[in-house]
Every structure is written in C-alpha cells, then in structure tokens.
Structure 1
Amino acid sequence: MPKTSDALKRTRGDVPFALVNYVGFLLFALLCAYPFYFLIINSVSANDVSALGDIRLWPEGLHLSNYSQILQLDGLSAAAVVSVARTVIGTACTVLASAFLGYMFTQERMWKRSLWYRLIIFTMYFSAGLIPLYITMKTLGLTNSFWVYILPAIVQPFNIILVKTYVESMPRSLQEAAEIDGAGTIRTFFRIILPNMTPILATVAIFTAVAQWNSFQDTLLYITDQKLYSLQYLLYTYTNQANSLAQAAQNAQGNLGAIVSAATTQTPTSIRMTVAVLVVLPIIFIYPLFQRYFVKGIMLGAVKG
C-alpha cells in the first residue's frame, strides 16, 4: 500500500509539471512560428492596410495578386534557378566531401592524418580576410562564375568534425570484415560506411542546404553578371529598392492604374513581405523531410570528451 500511495503521489505531481511543459513549449513554438505567419498574412492582405501596419493576427482583404505581380519581376525566375542549382549541387558536393574526409580522418594508415586534420580545423578560427579571399577567387577565375557558389564551400571543418565523430562511434568490426573480404579503402567507404551514415549526412545536408539557400554575400562580392544573381541577393536588392519597384509595378498597369483598387496596388511593404515568403517557403517545406534524422545525427556526431 505505501508503494502504491507513493506512485499515485508522483503521478499526480507529474501532471501539473507536464502541463506546464506542454504550455511552455506550445507558447515557444507559437513565438517561433509567428514571424513566418506574419509574413504570409501580410503578403495576402489588402496592400493599403498592410502598408499601415494594421495586420497583426488575421489577414484582411484576401488576394493573391501580390504573388502574380512579384513573379513577373525581371530576373526572378533566373535567380530561382541559380538558387536551386547551387543548393542542390552545393549540398551534394559538401555532403560527399564531408563524408569522405570524415571517414579518412579515422583511418590510422592515412599519411600525416593528424597534420591534415589540424590544418582543416585551423581554418575554423583563422582567416586571411576579405581582400585576400577576393584576390584568391579572382586569381582562380571564380569571379562571375557559378562555381564560386560551390567550390569554396565544399570543405566545411565543422561538418567534418561531426562526420568523423560519428564514424568513430560505428562498430570497427564493419570495416574489418570488409577488409578481410578484400575491400579497399574506397570500396569500404562506398559499400559499408556511407550507407550507414544516413543520420549524420542528413544533418550535414540540412546545415548546408540552409546556408546555400540563404547566402547572398558571395553574390554581392564576386558576381556582377545579372544572370548569376541568386534569389536571396534579389531579395536584398528588392528590399533596398522597394519604393521604386512599387512605382514600376503601378506604372506597368497602364490605363488600368486609375481604376485598380488600392487593396491590390503594390506597395514597398507588400513587395518585401511577398518576396520574403517566396524565399523562405522552400526551406520550410524541405526541413521536415530531414527532421527525423536531425536530432539523432547531431547527437551521435557530437564531439566526445
């Protein structure tokens, strides 16, 4: 009986604690989600009301004309293609490089393994600076080149640390069995190690895809050819030029401009909100696909000791 009573007391005491946890996490989740919700409701609300900052919780005067007009802006489709291409290719290259280097740095027979590993980690803390980096890119012929988005970002020290630690947590017997069967280093990696690295590779893929998709500074520094502009860079320029773009959108309506409702006439606020939604939505949809691997990968790939 005393044991049952103690169990009941613990159970009853756990209910308020669990309730507080659920309410707290729910409020925190709503707090995190609200900025995205705010962007969406302002992008589909009446533009004149949105410009006054009166849209807070619920949309007013629902319409989708903002999206149809924004999608007609010059260079947007080409920039979307560039952003998708750099995200897909860049993520694939970085994940493969991180997986292979992380694996190789666990191989004791690798020549000067500790030296190369320390040199890579060194770059996490020290950099030559912006001007030497620009000179390097220009010397290599990467300025005004699509590959400036891909090649400099392939080797990421933090990702390599995660993968290396994950590989070290795998049973050594897997690799030994492959070597007994005559598999070499490359074959062991692709046939044995790589298929068992899904959680950590998904984690690296999330980090890399988000970084590639959100990056605009490399476009600002290295690209002057408008055909190579990324979507985020256009967001940056559209945000800075929102007033002129709104005026251009109104002028493009021609004679209809006099009778077009103020609710659907482009404003600087509507341009900022709509473009931001178009840029953010792809990552929001992609992230849930990798979420189930993320926690497991980041925990197993955490630095030991």
Structure 2
Amino acid sequence: MTTTHTEHKPTQVTGHTRTSGDVLFSIVNYSFFILLAVLCAYPFYYLIINSVSANDLSALGDVRLFPQGFHLSNFEQVFHLQGLPMAAAVSLARTVIGTTATVLASAFLGFMFTQERMWARRFWYRFVVITMYFSAGLIPLFIIMKNLGLTNNFWVYVLPFVVQPFFIVLVKTYVEGMPRELQEAAEVDGASVLRVFFMIYLPNMTPILATVAIFAAVTQWNSFQDTLIYVTDQSLYTLQYLLYMFINQANSLAQAAQNAGGNLGALADAASTQTPTSIRMTVSVLVVLPIIFIYPLFQRFFVKGIMLGAVKG
C-alpha cells in the first residue's frame, strides 16, 4: 500500500489593501503637518530674509517671501554695537557650564534615588519634587541670592539651575527601566556606588541625558530674566538681555550703528543704513541661529529619551 505525502506550502498573507478612505486620510494628515511645519518655520525664515535684505525695504515691510537687495552689512555693523561680543561670550559660557552641571546633577540624583540603600531616599525624593509646585516668590528669592553673594556674579546663571526636579524625575524613571543585573554584577566584583554610576549607568544614559541637555541648553541660552533681576554689571549681560534692550531702544541704536558704520567707511545709502527694524531682525537672528543648528544634532536622541524617561516599564 502506497502512502501519498502531500507537500504543504506556507500560506502567503497578502498585505492590507489601501482603500480610498486610507488614501484620503494620508493626504489630509500629511497636508496638515506640512502646513503646521511651514507655520512654525516661517517666523525664523522671516527674520533671516529681513536681516539680509535692503534695510529700507525691510523697514517698510516689503520683504515677505524672498530677500530683496541682498547684503550682509547688517551683521558687520551690529557686531560693533557696544557690549555685543562680551554678551555673546557670557551666553555661551553660561550655556556650556550650566548645561553640563545640570546634566551631571540630574544623572547622579536620578541614579541615587533608585538606590534602596540611600538614607531617607523617599523623603529626599519627595522633598526635591515638591519644589516643582511651590516657590517662595521673587522678593525672597532675590534676598537669598543677595545674601549668598550671587548678585552681579556669573554663578547666578549656573547654580540656581543645577538641580531641576523635572529632569531628575525623567532620569530616575529611565534608570529604573535599565537591567538591575548590571549593578549587581559590578557590586559582586567589588565596585562602589560611584564606580557603578560612572562606569555602568552613565555611559548607558545617552538618550535621556541628551534630552535633558536639550532642555537645559535651550533654557540657559534663552534666559534673560535672571540678568534683569540679579545683574547690573554690564560685563555680565547676556546676549538675550541685550536683545531685550535692543528691541526697546532700537531707534537710538540704529543711529549709533549708522555713526559707527560711517566711521568704518561702510556704505551710507538707504539700503545698508541701519534702521530699528534691521537692528531687531539681525540681533534676533544672532540669538536664534545657534539653537537652530544645534537642536538637529540631538534630535535622534530626543524622542527616544523623552518616551523612555516619561513612562516606566
């Protein structure tokens, strides 16, 4: 008796057929987000094209889509405004130092709050988090800064921002999602808590630390209110505070730039002569461009870090 073996071939699963509704949804979805992206990007584009266009046309509001009368003399003349180079250096220094300190403090505290051996761990964690919801107010804060000797001091830009509860919560949640066996294996080999942090956990925190770095750097770079409240020494003015002053004093600064430009042998025609509008546009571009260029470098870490750090498990 002969037995016939039938060869069974795997059943092929056909892909989902797109319906007209799916196509319509995709078109509407892409159109909406493209429009939203254009609306978000246009203000920056508007600043840039007006900063490199003829100043007389820019002052009249005639530059909307494309540069007209292209020139770069605005940037050359603006850099001669008093205090601008020093302010740029102060802003850069506070951003680099402040961001580094905030990232390291957030990483270490976020890690320590996951260690059960830490004395009164739950109390200290709640003590830090509660500061997200309560503040002493402006006047008590100013008195504290003055008594600590931080008024008219560069460190007023750094020290108050080192411990940020929101960042600590993100890092803590991220650390809790990492394999505990890594620490246990290191401790079996005799590693201390600090060695475990610096050698095991810190190198594996790149996504969440990049996210914290973005938030901290943008906050540091854009901050000007602390200068307004705590600083009267002009050598400690930040670029953003000067922008605030320039916007409020654009007319007098335009005249000063015209005088400086004349002394430097710059063109004195209407197209290149500084106006209040050109002052505002050019300085705004100088303030915004660093963030525009730096942010894409961290973009690939941002989404991953914020998702893993915000949701446990």
TM-score by length of 2: 0.92
Does the 8 A contact of 1:121 with 1:157 survive in 2?
Answer: yes
Distance in 1 separating the partners of 2:266 and 2:214: 47
Deviation string, structure 1 residues 55-96 (Cα, Å, up to 9, x no partner): 111111111111000011111110111000000000000000
The code of the aligned residue for 1:178 comes to A
CA shift, 1:190, in A, is 0.2
> In the alignment, which residue of structure 2 is the partner of 1:39?
47
Distance in 2 separating the partners of 1:214 and 1:259: 33
* 1:211 matches 2:231: no
Does the 8 A contact of 1:203 with 1:293 survive in 2?
Answer: yes
CA shift, 1:7, in A, is 4.9
- Evaluate the alpha carbon distance shift between residue 52 and residue 161 of structure 1 in structure 2; reply closer, same or farther with a 3 A threshold: same
Distance in 2 separating the partners of 1:191 and 1:84: 29
Distance in 1 separating the partners of 2:276 and 2:16: 60
Distance in 2 separating the partners of 1:173 and 1:101: 20
CA shift, 1:278, in A, is 0.3
SS at match of 2:132: coil
SS at match of 1:147: helix
* 1:122 matches 2:130: yes
Percent identical among aligned pairs is 75
From 194, 219, 224, the counterpart of 1:186: 194
* 1:291 matches 2:299: yes
* 1:201 matches 2:222: no
Distance in 2 separating the partners of 1:252 and 1:189: 54
Does the 8 A contact of 1:251 with 1:257 survive in 2?
Answer: no
From 29, 36, 39, the counterpart of 1:21: 29
Does the 8 A contact of 1:99 with 1:163 survive in 2?
Answer: yes
> In the alignment, which residue of structure 2 is the partner of 1:154?
162
The code of the aligned residue for 2:77 comes to Q
Distance in 1 separating the partners of 2:220 and 2:204: 25
Distance in 1 separating the partners of 2:158 and 2:91: 11
The code of the aligned residue for 1:69 comes to Q
Higher Rg of the two aligned structures: 2
CA shift, 1:254, in A, is 4.3
- Higher mean displacement: 7-16 or 149-158: 7-16
* 1:67 matches 2:67: no
CA shift, 1:125, in A, is 0.5
- Evaluate the alpha carbon distance shift between residue 259 and residue 209 of structure 1 in structure 2; reply closer, same or farther with a 3 A threshold: closer
> In the alignment, which residue of structure 2 is the partner of 1:234?
242
Distance in 2 separating the partners of 1:304 and 1:253: 58
Deviation string, structure 1 residues 171-197 (Cα, Å, up to 9, x no partner): 111111111111111000000000000
Distance in 2 separating the partners of 1:147 and 1:35: 33
Distance in 1 separating the partners of 2:132 and 2:68: 48
> In the alignment, which residue of structure 2 is the partner of 1:145?
153
Deviation string, structure 1 residues 210-240 (Cα, Å, up to 9, x no partner): 0000000111111111111110001011111
SS at match of 1:126: coil
CA shift, 1:247, in A, is 1.2
* 1:78 matches 2:90: no
Does the 8 A contact of 1:250 with 1:257 survive in 2?
Answer: no
- Evaluate the alpha carbon distance shift between residue 253 and residue 274 of structure 1 in structure 2; reply closer, same or farther with a 3 A threshold: closer
- Evaluate the alpha carbon distance shift between residue 177 and residue 275 of structure 1 in structure 2; reply closer, same or farther with a 3 A threshold: same
Cα RMSD, aligned residues only: 2.1
> In the alignment, which residue of structure 2 is the partner of 1:95?
103
- Higher mean displacement: 168-177 or 245-254: 245-254
SS at match of 2:135: coil
Does the 8 A contact of 1:144 with 1:223 survive in 2?
Answer: yes
CA shift, 1:42, in A, is 0.6
Greater share of helix residues, 1 or 2?
1
Distance in 1 separating the partners of 2:82 and 2:200: 48
- Evaluate the alpha carbon distance shift between residue 248 and residue 229 of structure 1 in structure 2; reply closer, same or farther with a 3 A threshold: same
Flag structure 1 segments of 5+ consecutive residues without an equivalent: none
* 1:251 matches 2:259: yes
Q: How many aligned residue pairs are there?
A: 303
Distance in 2 separating the partners of 1:255 and 1:235: 24
